[in-house]
Amino acid sequence: MVEIATQSLKRLIFIVVVLSYSVFQAAAWVSEEEPIDSLQTGTEQLDSPVNTEEHPAEHADEHNGKFEPGKFIMDHIGDSYDWHIATFGEKHFSIPLPVILYTSEKGLTVFMSSAFHHGHESHNDFYISSSEKYKGKIVYLNEANEEVRPLDISLTKNVTGLLISMIILVWVFLSVAKSYRKREGKAPTGLQNLLEPLILFIRDDVARSSIGEKHYMRFMPYLLTVFWLIFLNNVLGLVPIFPGGANVTGNIAVTLVFAVITFAITSFSGKAAYWGHVFWPPVPHALKILMIPIEIIGVFIKPFVLMVRLFANITAGHIIALGFFSLIFIFGGIHVGAGYGVSIVTLIFTVFMTMLELLVAFIQAYVFTFLSALYFGMAVEEHHH
């Protein structure tokens, strides 16, 4: 009896935790965009008791009052110069991040993104563009009064998110490495115990099986680093508030770098057999005309696919979750009651999606690592059968 009671209690606690997490997530995502504000101004629901209390109507002036899900979603999956935490009424809470710009005329310019006052002011002639071409990016006007992008190496939200994840990664694995040294030859404990199965999984089922006993150790550092970095960033991307929430692995620049490194390692470790297979494939001579271009294109397609797969999967997950939240405000725009009604459905869907995205976070990190290992394996293969 006691057992059943504790079991159902555990289940209840689990449900409560998951639900409260989802509410929190919804609240965090939603508050960033202050759509309730927009709701109020856009419709005649000003006298709704909950809304009027929290959001006086006078903040509405700077918003056009219409909820735009496309803009809402794109703003969240894109990069930005500051890290938005939440918005209460008209107060924006965000972490200012350093902006680093270089132009041939002005040289190096460094300042905090708070100088822009959330994109409303310019600083040192730099301002955040709202034109079609450079939307959301820092630009300045040249002599011809055209918007020009400076060389922009600002520590944006994504860069900061990446750096935070890297600090976590280095800290975790250095401490794990220390515990390996300290407890040499003994059974693993704690964090070491938690991470070891995945390290072994990467080593035995990814690297060793696809690269081969002879060469796999050479590629282990890259494979492990890329796996953990992608996995950690995928998971952090699911956490709605700082230090999570940055769509790092859903950004094509990040996946491009990973794919290019995989491509570079594959090409540099490619043996005669690999290049021979590319430039002189073992097919009948008549087919060679067809196969050689295909093989050469294939060399570039492989990393390209790696890049797109990771980017698209993670971005899609974010878009779906944000899309569900947008539903609340779209329906809320029609009627506040409908908004609250849809929010329940949205919550359920978001819980489901978050579970699914956790799975995707692991699968995509695994797939990227596995395919990289497969390409390395092809590159170092000694002979063809």
Partner 1 sequence: MGLVNPDFGLLFWTLISFSIVLFILGKFAWKPILKSLKDREVSIESALKSAEDAKMEMHKLQADNEKIILEAKSQRDILIREAREVKETIIREAKTEAGAEASKLIKNAREAIENQKAAAITDIKNQVTELSIDIAKKILERELSSPEEQKKFIASLLKQVNPN
**Which two three-digit tokens encode residue 291?**
């196969």
Residues 101/108, Cβ–Cβ less than 8 Å: yes
Please measure the distance between the N-terminal and C-terminal CA atoms of the chain and give it in whole angstroms.
63
Residues in contact with partner 1, total (CB under 8 A)?
49
Closest approach, Cβ 372 to partner 1, in A, equals 13
Closest approach, Cβ 255 to partner 1, in A, equals 9
- Which of 9, 16, 17, 177 touches partner 1 (CB under 8 A)? 177
Q: Is 153 in the site for partner 1 (CB under 8 A)?
A: yes
Q: Is 299 in the site for partner 1 (CB under 8 A)?
A: no
Q: Is 176 in the site for partner 1 (CB under 8 A)?
A: yes
Q: Is 213 in the site for partner 1 (CB under 8 A)?
A: no
Q: Which is nearer to partner 1, 265 or 371 (CB)?
A: 265
State the pairing for strand pair 151-152/98-103: antiparallel
- x/- track of binding to partner 1 for residues 91-130 (CB under 8 A): ---------x------------------------------
- x/- track of binding to partner 1 for residues 305-344 (CB under 8 A): ------x---x-----------------------------
State the pairing for strand pair 82-88/91-96: antiparallel
> 269-294 burial string, b = 16+ CB within 10 Å, else e?
bbeeebeebbeeeeeeeeeeeebeee
Q: Is 210 in the site for partner 1 (CB under 8 A)?
A: no
Find tokens 């005649």 and name the residue: 44
3-state secondary structure of 295: helix
Q: Which is nearer to partner 1, 48 or 313 (CB)?
A: 313
DSSP H helices in 183-284: 190-201, 209-211, 216-238, 252-269, 272-279
Q: Is 50 in the site for partner 1 (CB under 8 A)?
A: no
- Binding window for partner 1 (CB under 8 A); candidates: 49-57, 88-96, 119-127, 175-183: 175-183
Q: Which residues contact 280 (CB under 8 A, 6 or more apart)?
A: 288, 292
Q: Which is nearer to partner 1, 235 or 252 (CB)?
A: 252
Four-residue CA torsion sign, 208, 211, 215, 219? negative
3-state secondary structure of 214: coil
Q: Is 259 in the site for partner 1 (CB under 8 A)?
A: no
Distance of CA 202 to the CA centre of its chain: 22
Q: Is 258 in the site for partner 1 (CB under 8 A)?
A: yes
- Assign residue 68 a region (left: φ > 0; alpha: ψ between -120 and 50; beta: otherwise): beta
Q: Is 135 in the site for partner 1 (CB under 8 A)?
A: yes
Q: Determine the Cα angle at 373 with ends 367 and 377, to 5°.
A: 140
Q: Which is nearer to partner 1, 57 or 167 (CB)?
A: 167
3-state secondary structure of 92: strand
Q: Is 198 in the site for partner 1 (CB under 8 A)?
A: no
How long is the chain? 385
Counting Cα atoms < 13 Å in the Cβ hemisphere of 78 gives 12
- Which of 95, 115, 155, 198 touches partner 1 (CB under 8 A)? 155
Q: Is 191 in the site for partner 1 (CB under 8 A)?
A: no
Distance CA 138, CA 121 (A): 12
Q: Is 162 in the site for partner 1 (CB under 8 A)?
A: yes
Q: Is 227 in the site for partner 1 (CB under 8 A)?
A: no
Q: Is 173 in the site for partner 1 (CB under 8 A)?
A: yes
Distance CA 273, CA 281 (A): 10
- Which of 28, 229, 236, 373 touches partner 1 (CB under 8 A)? 229
Contact set for partner 1, span 344-363 (CB under 8 A): none
**Rule CB under 8 A: which residues touch partner 1?**
74, 77-79, 100, 135-136, 151-156, 158-159, 162-163, 166, 169-170, 173-174, 176-177, 180-181, 184-185, 196, 199-200, 203, 217, 220-222, 224-225, 229, 251-254, 256-258, 261, 311, 315
